[in-house]
């Protein structure tokens, strides 16, 4: 039997046979519940990799490694406290290997079913951590490759039901339940004809999930009363174009935008749930969330304007600039995209400031940021206030912060995270040059290559800003739903009377 010090010799196996042996050993270990065999499979994988692999072989190996870590997670996280712990090293490993496979140069040449398996398992792992919005993106990507890949559709449906349960708005709750039920039924229909796309024995499990939704919700009534189209999209062509762009890119602060691109989702309805404070305390929390939300929607508009500008702005007229002959891009539109990036990124630290106030963490203001809020000490464990909370959306928020800020995590869990962090650092403190055209690897002798600048294509700047905005939208939803969960738990321990305090909305005409 293999051990880290005495791995199995695989020198007599071809690459194809070695991969097959590792895959079979992982399956055998999982079926037998044997953690020792899992260790052996991982040792075999490490031994095999040093032989030098083709990209498609490496991607397959990474997929099998992720499967091994998935079994290890099942073995190690049986107890409730272990399952709810914010730190999930086994899931982190799964995400690392699956994302490495997904970002391989060979990914697009893999068999479509293998690609669906990688994306589906990635979605499962992200959902476990509470990142249900990003999980949905992974499952949807799998279904784009193969619409009959029922494992992705059924898992997307079940996870959407968990998202629905986490909501505080009963109307949104019902609509998400309706979509969850549709996914489950569609997935089960595909399972009946394409059972080989997954473990067909799960049919009973998914059927029970669909039946449970139908028992709890009057789905016919929800569908009859749900009118997704015909809502106001604006008075001008420009506003309508902007709102359609937000819908397509899932940028509205509205849970319905995660399941629909119809006009019903074209508003930023997300707000704080009902929450209790001490008598006489001013609505500080509400004001703080107003600030987060306004910053997000303003940055979103700046990005849209910067991406869709059709002509130079008059403010750029007669501004003396020199052509450095490396296709530089200047003008108000470019600066709007930069501002949108900086504004959006700054929201994350404000979320930490919000949590410090709402949860009364007592963290000194100078130490508060989205990376440090989770621990008393930088190298210490996660605060018990979080780690024992069984708060699924807050766990998602925590893992989103790890993607973006934790050293050693950025490269492994969120492929664009380091690029986002580097861009933000240069925008705030250094020198960013935006180019209409940019060679991937400028020649060493190129006298026009700016060695001081952080150079980026204009299209890449726009793409990264859009991706950052999607992540921050997720963060705001996780924050709100995490507060809702917290308030539900607090209500169980509250004694005495609770007096309502009504706050009126700010009219659009007042927003000058």
DSSP 64-118: HHHHHHHHHHHHH--SHHHHH-S--HHHHHHHHHHHHHHTSTTGGGS-HHHHHHH
Which structural domain range is residue 300 located in?
270-510
pLDDT for 1 equals 45
pLDDT digits (tens, 9 = 90+) for 345-400: 999 999 999 999 999 999 999 899 999 999 998 888 999 999 989 999 999 999 99
pLDDT for 165 equals 94
DSSP helix/strand/coil, 397: helix
pLDDT for 424 equals 82
Give the number of other CB atoms < 10 A from CB of residue 7: 16
Domain presence at residue 415: yes
* Chain-centre distance for alpha carbon 348: 14
* Chain-centre distance for alpha carbon 96: 14
pLDDT for 492 equals 78
Domain presence at residue 502: yes
Domain presence at residue 277: yes
Q: Give how many domains the chain has, as a whole number.
A: 1
- Nearest-angstrom CA–CA distance, 310 and 187: 44
- Nearest-angstrom CA–CA distance, 22 and 170: 48
What's the pTM value of the predicted model, to 2 decimals?
Answer: 0.92
Question: Residues 485, 393: contact at Cβ < 8 Å?
Answer: yes
Domain presence at residue 416: yes
Question: Residues 306, 476: contact at Cβ < 8 Å?
Answer: no
Structure tokens given for 351: 């979320």
Segments in 278-358 forming alpha helices (H): 284-308, 332-358
Domain presence at residue 73: no
User: Helix 132-145 crosses helix 150-166 at what angle (to 10 degrees)?
Assistant: 160
Domain presence at residue 90: no
Which among 16, 26, 37 has a CA at the least distance from the CA of 70? 26
| DSSP letter (8 states) at residue 145 | H
pLDDT digits (tens, 9 = 90+) for 17-31: 888 889 898 988 888
- Nearest-angstrom CA–CA distance, 138 and 124: 9
Structure tokens given for 245: 């762009």
Strand intervals (E) in 317-451: 432-435
Domain presence at residue 401: yes
- Nearest-angstrom CA–CA distance, 264 and 354: 29
pLDDT for 138 equals 97
Collect the ranges in the chain with pLDDT lower than 70: 1-11, 276-280, 407-415, 440-448, 494-501, 503-504, 507-509, 511
Domain presence at residue 451: yes
DSSP helix/strand/coil, 2: coil
């Amino acid at each position: 039997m293999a051990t880290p010090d005495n791995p199995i010799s695989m020198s007599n196996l071809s690459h194809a046979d070695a991969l097959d042996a590792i895959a079979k050993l992982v399956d055998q270990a999982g079926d037998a519940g044997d953690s020792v065999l899992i260790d052996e499979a991982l040792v075999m994988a490490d031994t095999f990799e040093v032989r030098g692999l083709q990209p498609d072989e490496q991607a397959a190996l990474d997929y099998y490694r992720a499967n091994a870590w998935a079994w290890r997670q099942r073995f190690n996280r049986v107890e409730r406290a272990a399952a709810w712990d914010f730190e999930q090293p086994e899931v982190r490993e799964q995400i690392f290997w699956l994302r490495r496979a997904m970002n391989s140069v060979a990914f697009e040449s893999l068999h479509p079913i293998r690609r669906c398996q990688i994306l589906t398992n990635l979605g499962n792992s992200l959902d476990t951590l509470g990142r249900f919005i990003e999980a949905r993106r992974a499952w949807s990507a799998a279904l784009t490759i193969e619409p009959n890949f029922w494992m992705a559709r059924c898992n997307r449906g079940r996870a959407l039901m968990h998202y629905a349960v986490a909501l505080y708005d009963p109307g949104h709750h019902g609509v998400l339940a309706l979509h969850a039920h549709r996914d489950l039924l569609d997935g089960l229909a595909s399972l009946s004809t394409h059972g080989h796309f997954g473990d067909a024995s799960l049919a009973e499990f998914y059927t029970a999930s669909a039946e449970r939704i139908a028992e709890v919700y009057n789905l016919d009534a929800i569908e009859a009363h749900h009118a997704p189209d015909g809502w106001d999209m604006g008075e001008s062509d420009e506003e309508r174009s902007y709102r359609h762009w937000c819908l397509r890119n899932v940028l509205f602060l509205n849970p319905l935008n995660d399941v629909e691109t119809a006009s019903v989702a074209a508003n930023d309805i997300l707000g704080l749930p009902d929450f209790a404070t001490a008598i006489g305390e001013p609505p500080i929390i509400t004001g703080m969330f107003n600030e987060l939300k306004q910053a997000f929607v303003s940055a979103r508009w700046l990005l849209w304007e910067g991406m869709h500008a059709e002509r130079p702005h008059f403010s750029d007229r007669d501004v003396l600039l020199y052509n450095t002959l490396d296709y530089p891009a200047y003008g108000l539109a470019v600066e709007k995209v930069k501002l949108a990036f900086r504004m959006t990124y700054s929201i994350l630290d404000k979320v930490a400031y919000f949590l410090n106030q709402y949860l009364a963490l007592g963290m000194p203001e100078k130490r508060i940021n989205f990376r440090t809020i989770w621990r008393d000490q930088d190298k210490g464990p996660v605060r018990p206030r979080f780690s024992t909370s069984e708060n699924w959306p807050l766990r998602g928020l925590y893992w989103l912060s790890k993607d973006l800020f934790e050293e050693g995590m950025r490269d492994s869990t969120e492929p664009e995270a380091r690029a986002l962090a580097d861009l933000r650092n240069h925008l705030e403190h250094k020198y960013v040059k935006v180019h209409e055209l940019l060679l991937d690897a400028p020649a060493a002798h190129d006298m026009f290559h700016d060695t001081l600048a952080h150079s980026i294509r204009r299209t890449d700047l726009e793409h990264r800003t859009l991706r950052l905005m999607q992540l921050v939208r997720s963060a705001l939803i996780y924050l709100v739903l995490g507060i809702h969960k917290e308030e539900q738990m607090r209500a169980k321990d509250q004694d005495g009377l609770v007096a309502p305090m009504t706050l009126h909305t700010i009219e659009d005409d007042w927003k000058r």
